[in-house]
Chains A and B, each alone.
Chain A
């Protein structure tokens, strides 16, 4: 399965990914009418980091959702039926990645459901011109890293 990969060193927090996400599949806030993105780039002490749903295999949010708003789709992604959400924030309570976007004024929680392109490049990745965000098969990526690490090992 494809997943997001983020390279913090290349990100300069231009927030183009957030803008694109907000425009295409973001959620509008009740009070301000502003569109809120599901992807979030946060500034940490050691550089930027990404807050985004990882579509975990053992997804605790699906178990915790009391309204069956969060469900596992047929393609393995964790999808959301926003109309069902009542804003109990049980999902936010169990998500180990802090990926749920809780919008207080709307009394709902939102997350990335890859609505903008499950097969093609997602909007945020498309918008990133710094080369910091990728959407790819992580298995291939991990294998590449493994091969590089093996090469670095001292020869016996």
Chain B
């Protein structure tokens, strides 16, 4: 049989962004297309690092060596061209160009396929506008470095928003001896991850630390410069001085540079199951785009690490001509504060007539499962989170609860056997 040599394509794949979605896409692209050229445009001055870890880095819980997951050598080994300090300014989807500013110089980069994996940035409001001297978000390595240096001289910080990042930053800052006050508009901490009971447990555990204070049902209505400090005015009329302020009230997708293109954006990029955008040969992955809810099949914004990693991989397969679809995931997260673990899987705060709840409560453990028509839809645990993944499997696999609790493995869950383990 005559062997035909495969024609070596020499396409150029351009990836905007340099976090997990971009890195996992680049790795897959290289594996599938050994001959193609791959370019990563990162707007930061450092190579890829784990973004979830920066709050841990702030609290000196991880060192630099572990924070940076991919060294520049990693890119070299795979022949991936890494352009750092390069910000995308505009995309021309008709002629296939990305206009960038690389270290101050403007450049034009052509592409055959483009992946947008630019992630998101913190939201600032009028009452607390971005200020490089003292009001910042907590999203990248730069922010962590700045907060670390401020923590050395500052004695008091205000964190707006008691979400995941807000509490984790507070946890990190008190380790540096900074007095921290967290202000939250909602009556619970950790946003969509908890209910009232779990929120109380988390709050109690955190505020056990003498430097940490959490105030719920309150918000910041104005901030103004006061010498080299900031005066913060709260909704309940109180005023307070702070050395610096961290905003963590939410994020918005980085899509500004895509304005004026034919890419459909509804706050986040609308992609299909193949991670394709509405523009030809332009794909998106990670926090910048939507993803499917694995159970309800609705489009949701699920900005978590495993989703970004999987989306990057799926996008890369489709960019290489393979047809792959992403099956989606469910909202979930896991965190610990002073050895109190919190895991939330699925739509924890769903309230409806047809929802049945099963709870287990003891002094150290609180677990709750919500069932709809006998099928688990969410699970939340604090204290003992061992074996949480088994319920996740039941939620995604739509396993009826009666069937699930008959499995021997399920017996280790306090919510199943109703005993304190």
Contact = CB atoms under 8 A, between A and B. Distances in A.
A47 B336 CA distance: 33
A97 B53 contact: no
Interface stretch (B61-69, B76-84, B149-157, B230-238): B61-69
B411 A42 contact: yes
Given A45-B411, A94-B306, A97-B409, A88 B389 contact: no
B412 interface: yes
B334 interface: yes
Given A45-B408, A63-B306, A86 B53 contact: yes
Interface residues on B, range: 20 to 34
Contact of A92 (B66, B310, B385): B385
A57 to B, nearest CB: 15
Contacts of A24: none
B61 A86 contact: yes
Given A97-B389, A107-B339, A90 B409 contact: no
B301 interface: no
B392 interface: yes
A98 B306 contact: no
B408 A46 contact: yes
Contacts of A42: 408-409, 411-412
Contacts of B336: 87-89, 107
Nearest to B386: A102
A93 interface: yes
A46 B408 CA distance: 7
Contacts of A63: 305-306, 309-310
A4 to B, nearest CB: 15
B345 A93 contact: yes
Contacts of A84: 66
B334 A98 contact: no
Contact of B334 (A46, A92, A105): A92
A27 to B, nearest CB: 15
A118 interface: no
B408 A49 contact: yes
Contacts of B61: 86
Contacts of A10: none
A66 interface: yes
B83 to A, nearest CB: 23
B332 A93 contact: yes
Interface in B356-385: 385
Contact of A94 (B50, B53, B69, B392): B392
B279 interface: no
B339 A66 contact: no
B66 A67 contact: yes
B288 to A, nearest CB: 18
Nearest to B62: A86
A132 interface: no
Interface in B38-78: 50, 52-53, 56, 61-62, 66, 69
A100 B411 contact: no
Contact of A68 (B50, B333, B386, B412): B50
A94 B389 contact: yes
Given A89-B388, A93-B343, 14 more contacts: A42-B411, A67-B66, A84-B66, A86-B61, A90-B305, A92-B334, A92-B387, A93-B385, A94-B332, A94-B392, A96-B390, A97-B409, A98-B389, A98-B409
Nearest first, the 9 A-B pairs at minimum CB distance are: A44-B408, A98-B387, A96-B393, A95-B389, A49-B408, A66-B52, A64-B306, A63-B306, A93-B334
